[in-house]
């Protein structure tokens, strides 16, 4: 019996991919036990990826012609390096498609984009309980930045900071 390796393709997302990307984002949120935190809609995703001022980019990965994963990223900037970087917001491969190298191919493509654009680094975060993601990233040569803590200001606290609301209660935002 002859076994053939799956054909993996990676391409830039196009506007027709927005519904697929939204579905994959919702699947990722389910996996991370954060489905209720998803506020993005197909429309808001389309505006942020393909509107007059795109805020992020996405690539789509397929196995044997069937879309099975994505990576979504955007530029950040390092004042110390004096160069842009990429922030990998999400990298996700459908459960049934894992183990074929698609995640590695998506991650590699983000790395190629960073090098093509003279970025100094790629950064991302991983949930502390997601051991498979941590093992994956470590196997790619990544290292944890333990001396840094991620902080977030969102919801009512963000509105307050901008001077558009009263002092919020000590409620924490979702994602």
Using a 10 angstrom Cβ sphere, with 0-12 exposed, 13-18 middle and 19 or more buried, the burial of residue 24 is: buried
87 given a catalytic annotation: no
Listed in order, strand segments (DSSP E) in 13-124 are: 57-63, 66-78, 83-93, 122-123
Q: How far apart are CA 91 and CA 107, in angstroms?
A: 8
Q: Could you give the 3-state DSSP secondary structure of residue 39?
A: coil
Cβ(18)–Cβ(12) below 8 Å: no
DSSP annotation of 96 reads G
Q: How many CB atoms lie within 10 A of CB 112?
A: 11
Active-site residue (options: 31, 77, 137, 151): 137
Residues identified as active-site: 137
């Amino acid at each position: 019996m002859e076994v053939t390796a799956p054909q993996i393709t990676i391409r830039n997302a196009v506007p027709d991919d927005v519904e697929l990307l939204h579905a994959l984002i919702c699947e990722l949120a389910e996996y991370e036990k954060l489905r209720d935190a998803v506020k993005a809609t197909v429309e808001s995703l389309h505006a942020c990826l393909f509107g007059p001022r795109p805020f992020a980019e996405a690539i789509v990965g397929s196995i044997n012609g069937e879309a099975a994963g994505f990576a979504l990223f955007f530029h950040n900037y390092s004042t110390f390096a004096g160069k842009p970087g990429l922030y990998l917001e999400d990298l996700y491969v459908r459960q049934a498609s894992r183990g074929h190298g698609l995640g590695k191919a998506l991650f590699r493509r983000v790395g190629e984009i960073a090098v093509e654009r003279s970025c100094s680094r790629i950064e991302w975060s991983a949930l502390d309980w997601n051991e498979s993601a941590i093992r994956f990233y470590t196997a790619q040569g990544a290292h944890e930045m333990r001396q840094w803590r991620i902080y977030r200001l969102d919801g009512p606290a963000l509105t307050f900071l901008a001077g558009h609301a009263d002092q919020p209660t000590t409620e924490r935002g979702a994602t």
